[in-house]
Amino acid sequence: MTVDFALRLASAAARVLAPNGGTALIGKDTRLSGYMFESALEAGFVAAGVNVMLMGPLPTPGIAYMTHRLGCNLGVVISASHNPFEDNGIKFFDANGGKLSDELEERIELELAGEPLTRPSGELGRASRMDSSRNLYQEFCRSTLPAGVDLAGLKIVVDCANGAAYKVAPRTLADLGAEIVPIGSTPNGRNINVGCGSTAPELLQLTVPGVHAHVGIALDGDGDRLLMVDHLGRIVDGDQLLYVIARARHARGQLPGPVVGTLMSNLGLELALRRQGIAFERVAVGDRYVLARLRETGGILGGETSGHILCLDRTTTGDGLVNALQVLAIMQQERKPLAELAAGMNRLPQVMLNVRVAQRFEPMGVPAIAKLLRELEAQLAERGRIVLRPSGTEPLIRVMVEAQDESLARQCAERLAEAVRTAH
């Protein structure tokens, strides 16, 4: 991605999403290159006659919310999420704070072929800084707690991954009465996601018991993913957090539709929800598939093991801070530590192997692999699960086996991996 591309992208998006002028909201995380791309996007939009509001560092879900709250035609986020600082990307939201449809994305791609638009001087857009408006997002996050619930009495370690949430997350939690110990909250443009955040929670695991905190929160670089750590320093991942929220919603009669996970969601989640009488469905890996299925079924709760969770009764997109608040509220309402709330779900041992191949292929199209898979599934019966799929981006075949016995899971995974290796 280059400055020239960012400028062209802004111009193309303006022609599709705000053809008669309007306003674009631009936010970013803390990567060094974010300033460069912010300027390029600003130039492209202003030249095309679109006003620009520059929000500065704010979580991706915060930009989604503020786009709708401020009545903008579109929102733009400059972020590469949980990836290293050298990477960057650009994401768009529509006027309602939702992801763009495939049709709109295709129209923008087609417009990229044209020259950037520059309107006459009298028709140019204007740019303004909106940094102080982040308070509106903080107010929104606080409003997602049930009436009468605050965080008084909780000591919380919050790891902001040196990313987009480094200001709003600690402030929001403190405003709700919690005692805050922030880490990963001193970004320098290069340290986003480095040894901190949801992709590297080891420091959080040490800090929570070290300072005698009740719980730890780990966000990723753009603030849309969440992992938590209990008072003993143990990780509570996205599947376990889904269980905690789903069980509490269900007990209050506030869980319409099924909970939606992905092919990679741990079987322990499915079994734990089944014991609670909660329906569970799986879709392909990717939050867009989770969201689509929730909309089809009228469900409100779904997500991925990585901690990208959708609580559609609270917000339109995955929001790490909002989701953390839902879990903290349950702790306060039930007066139970996170360890006890998560204990109702037992994660089954999971073995994942990536088999490199000369070129991607559909493994189930190979009779020998399909035959072995059926044999292993019969052996596991309801005590385990197998996922065998080609990577969407690399020449890899991914083998995942879950079983109540880890040695059995590894044995099955290695047999399948060997069958894949010998097939090509």
pLDDT digits (tens, 9 = 90+) for 48-101: 999 999 999 999 999 999 999 999 999 999 999 999 999 999 999 999 998 898
Instruction: Please tell me the distance from the alpha carbon of residue 206 to that of residue 63, in angstroms, as a whole number.
Output: 32
- Topology of the domain comprising 350-423: TATA-Binding Protein (3.30.310)
424 pLDDT more than 70: no
* CB burial of residue 395 (10 Å; 0-12, 13-18, 19+): middle
Beta-sheet pairing, 350-356 with 396-403:
antiparallel
Q: Average the pLDDT over 385-409 and give the result.
A: 89
Q: Which of 55-69, 106-120, 210-224, 355-369 has the lowest mean pLDDT?
A: 355-369
Instruction: Please tell me the distance from the alpha carbon of residue 119 to that of residue 390, in angstroms, as a whole number.
Output: 47
Question: What pTM, to 2 d.p., does this model score?
Answer: 0.92
pLDDT for residue 108: 97
Would you call 127 helix, strand, or coil by DSSP?
strand
pLDDT for residue 391: 82
Q: What are phi and psi of 398, to 5 degrees?
A: -95, 130
The CB density around residue 148, as the number of other CB atoms within 10 Å, is: 7
pLDDT for residue 374: 93
What band does 189 get if pLDDT is binned at 50, 70 and 90?
Answer: very high
Instruction: For residue 115, give the DSSP letter.
Output: P
Task: Residue 45: name the closest of 34, 56, 54 by CA.
Answer: 54
Q: CB-based contacts of 394: which residues, under 8 Å, 6+ apart?
A: 360
Instruction: Please tell me the distance from the alpha carbon of residue 261 to that of residue 266, in angstroms, as a whole number.
Output: 9
Where are the alpha helices (H) located in 112-184, listed in sequence order?
134-143, 168-175
- Topology of the domain comprising 144-342: Alpha-D-Glucose-1,6-Bisphosphate; Chain A, domain 3 (3.40.120)
Q: Average the pLDDT over 202-229 and give the result.
A: 98
Instruction: For residue 123, give the DSSP letter.
Output: G
Span(s) in the chain for CATH 3.40.120.10 = 3-133, 144-342
Map tokens 């500065």 to a residue. 56
Instruction: Please tell me the distance from the alpha carbon of residue 30 to that of residue 52, in angstroms, as a whole number.
Output: 19
Beta strands in 114-198 (DSSP E): 127-129, 155-159, 179-183
Span(s) in the chain for CATH 3.30.310.50 = 350-423
Tokens at 164, concatenated: 């987009």
Instruction: Please tell me the distance from the alpha carbon of residue 287 to that of residue 310, in angstroms, as a whole number.
Output: 8
Map tokens 């699960």 to a residue. 385
Q: Are 233 and 208 in contact (CB under 8 A)?
A: yes
Q: Which CATH class is domain 3-133?
A: alpha beta
393 pLDDT more than 80: no
Element (H or E) spanning 308, and its range? Answer: none
Instruction: Please tell me the distance from the alpha carbon of residue 163 to that of residue 258, in angstroms, as a whole number.
Output: 33
* Catalytic residue flag (residue 81): yes
26 DSSP β-pair partners: 54, 76
Q: CB-based contacts of 240: which residues, under 8 Å, 6+ apart?
A: 269, 342, 345, 347
Q: What is the mean pLDDT of the chain?
A: 95
Q: Average the pLDDT over 271-295 and give the result.
A: 95
Instruction: Please tell me the distance from the alpha carbon of residue 164 to that of residue 50, in angstroms, as a whole number.
Output: 25
Q: How far is the first Cα of the chain from the last one, in angstroms, to the nearest whole number? A: 35
Instruction: Please tell me the distance from the alpha carbon of residue 93 to that of residue 90, in angstroms, as a whole number.
Output: 10
Q: Is 233 left (phi over 0), alpha (psi -120 to 50) or beta?
A: left
Q: Average the pLDDT over 190-194 and give the result.
A: 97
> pLDDT for 141-177, tens place per residue?
999 999 999 999 999 999 999 999 999 999 999 999 9
What band does 360 get if pLDDT is binned at 50, 70 and 90?
Answer: confident
Q: Are 192 and 169 in contact (CB under 8 A)?
A: no
- Which of 33, 79, 81, 185 is catalytic? The answer is 81
Instruction: Please tell me the distance from the alpha carbon of residue 163 to that of residue 185, in angstroms, as a whole number.
Output: 7
Would you call 379 helix, strand, or coil by DSSP?
helix
The CB density around residue 352, as the number of other CB atoms within 10 Å, is: 13
